[in-house]
Amino acid sequence: MTLALLIMAVGGAWAQSANPKVIELTPDADKKVWTLDKMPANDVELQVEYYDPILTLAANNSEWGTASVVFPDLKTKVTKYNLLGGTAGYSDDEALSKLFDGDTGTKWCCEGNNSFVEFSTDNAIRVVSYILTTANDNDLNPGRNPKSWLLKGKLDENDEWKIIATVNNDTKMKNVNYTPYEFDVDKPGTYKYFRFEIEETTGSNVLQLSEMNLLKSEINGVIDNGDGTYNVKSGTQLDIKAIPAEGYHFDAWSNNEEGYEVGKLRLIIDEDKEITAIFAENEYNITFSEGTNPDPENPEWTATPNPAKTKQTVTVKYNGAKKVLGVKAEKKAAGPPEYYDKLTVTVRTQGEWSCASGPQATFIGQTITEEQAIALAKYQASKSGNNTVVFYKKESWQMYYAKSDGTTSYGDVGTSMGLDGYDVYYVAQ
């Protein structure tokens, strides 16, 4: 929290002042006490300013997955730019300003290798991708497209540049005219100042582009710092998702955060918050078809998973004397959740079902989490083809619907309800 002291123009020599004097107060180490060393000879008004809350998202292992705020899929093209400087074009007709004039019939044409342009937008924007458009005569003058480049950004003019996109040896852009090509940024984030550096062209030492445009996707009141932290206007509701890497799965949220769906959170941010997505390695059961290994003590075949790899692999080895024609793997149908066989489940389909009658299923040996209850509902619905609802106990009874068409939802539990056509499970927690 910061505190500013504003001297108000209420009388005396200050009465005609159009610009009241602002004095910044220095807080103590705990930022709980502010002291004004000398009182001005005027009435004063204290104005308190609060920093926006900071949301920090992380993973228990960055190679196992990521956590991020869910931004809209819709991208909006930015059309207004402020040119700050760069490599001059060969003539006024091929000037640097032509890159942002909104006209694909004009172009920026300049000495190619190690050229650059710096520009800004009127307001800070969250950039997710950008478009480079070829010029009017690339077909007649091949080799003028950029080949390797960097896009940098920063939020404040005095900040250090951050590399937000790197392209090496591009093959996407072709020697065709007036053609736009979209590239994703490596680090989506909120920036206002940009620097586009072309390290090398595709064949000649001449560069030409007709247009460059940024595309944005943002949420009002949210600044994406591009490093897993977000400045959020207090009171803003955000969705957060966990994205596991290949070979891993989402397990839980830190601080016992409750998700509205597996790997998804919905929160109102009104204070600083740190959330970690917990991921775990997938474990697979690998078996051989019947008759492949007749002697279990001395198997001819072995299969060894390599779980340490981000992209999990399996090494299959043959120790016998036969000539092997080939080996194929068959993906087995998805089985029930691993805790499923520990449940004693009673399935009921009735018009009216009393929740007050207590659980009709018990869980043996451990407690069941909300994520497990959801997985049970989804599995049973996919297995039976019937609408399924699972009741599970938190502070009170809750229920989770999984329909045969794949849609899911939560519901509030009353004293009774109609559940015609539903497989009903009770799970004690």
pLDDT greater at residue 304 or residue 354: 304
> Residues with Cβ < 8 Å from 253, sequence gap 6 or more?
242, 259, 265, 275, 276, 277, 278
For 381, counting Cβ atoms within 10 Å of its Cβ (0-12 exposed, 13-18 middle, 19+ buried), the class is: buried
CA dist 185 and 235 (Å) reads 29
pLDDT greater at residue 319 or residue 363: 319
- At 308, the pLDDT band (50, 70, 90 cuts) reads low
Question: Is the per-residue pLDDT at 17 higher than 80?
Answer: no
pLDDT greater at residue 298 or residue 16: 298
pLDDT at res. 310: 47
- Could you report the per-residue pLDDT of 243-280, keeping only the tens digit for each? 998 878 888 898 777 788 888 999 999 999 999 999 88
- At 149, the pLDDT band (50, 70, 90 cuts) reads very high
- Give whole-number Cα distances, 44 to 21, 29, 36, in Å: 10, 25, 11
- At 97, the pLDDT band (50, 70, 90 cuts) reads very high
Question: Is the per-residue pLDDT at 312 higher than 90?
Answer: no
Which 3 state secondary structure label does DSSP give 1? coil
> Residues with Cβ < 8 Å from 176, sequence gap 6 or more?
134, 138, 139
pLDDT at res. 332: 66
DSSP for residue 14: G
Are the beta carbons of 87 and 110 closer than 8 angstroms?
yes
Question: Is the per-residue pLDDT at 408 higher than 90?
Answer: no
Question: Is the per-residue pLDDT at 366 higher than 60?
Answer: no
- At 411, the pLDDT band (50, 70, 90 cuts) reads low
Which of 5-14, 66-75, 298-307, 416-425 has the highest average model confidence (pLDDT)?
66-75
| Mean pLDDT estimate for the chain | 81
Lowest mean per-residue pLDDT among 9-18, 111-120, 164-173: 9-18
- Give whole-number Cα distances, 145 to 83, 112, 129, 271, 421, in Å: 21, 9, 18, 47, 62
Q: What is the DSSP string of 324-349?
A: P------PPPP---TTGGGEE---B-
Where do the DSSP E strands lie in 105-161? 108-111, 115-133, 146-154
- At 71, the pLDDT band (50, 70, 90 cuts) reads very high
Whole-model pTM: value is 0.62
- At 412, the pLDDT band (50, 70, 90 cuts) reads low
Question: Is the per-residue pLDDT at 202 higher than 60?
Answer: yes
Task: Summarize the confidence of residues 105-127 as an average pLDDT.
Answer: 96
Lowest mean per-residue pLDDT among 36-45, 267-276, 341-350: 341-350
Question: Is the per-residue pLDDT at 16 higher than 60?
Answer: no
- At 385, the pLDDT band (50, 70, 90 cuts) reads confident
CA dist 289 and 350 (Å) reads 42
> Residues with Cβ < 8 Å from 85, sequence gap 6 or more?
117, 118
Question: Is the per-residue pLDDT at 358 higher than 70?
Answer: no
What percent of the chain stands above pLDDT 90? 46
The 10 Å Cβ neighbour count of residue 424 is: 21
Question: Is the per-residue pLDDT at 410 higher than 70?
Answer: no
Residue type, 303: A
Provide the phi-psi class of 422: left if phi over 0, else alpha when psi is between -120 and 50, else beta: beta
pLDDT at res. 425: 65
- Could you report the per-residue pLDDT of 205-254, keeping only the tens digit for each? 999 999 999 999 999 999 999 999 999 999 999 999 999 988 788 888 98
CA dist 164 and 225 (Å) reads 11
What residue has token string 């909300």? 370
pLDDT at res. 173: 97
- List the structure tokens of 147: 């080949």
Task: Summarize the confidence of residues 55-60 as an average pLDDT.
Answer: 95
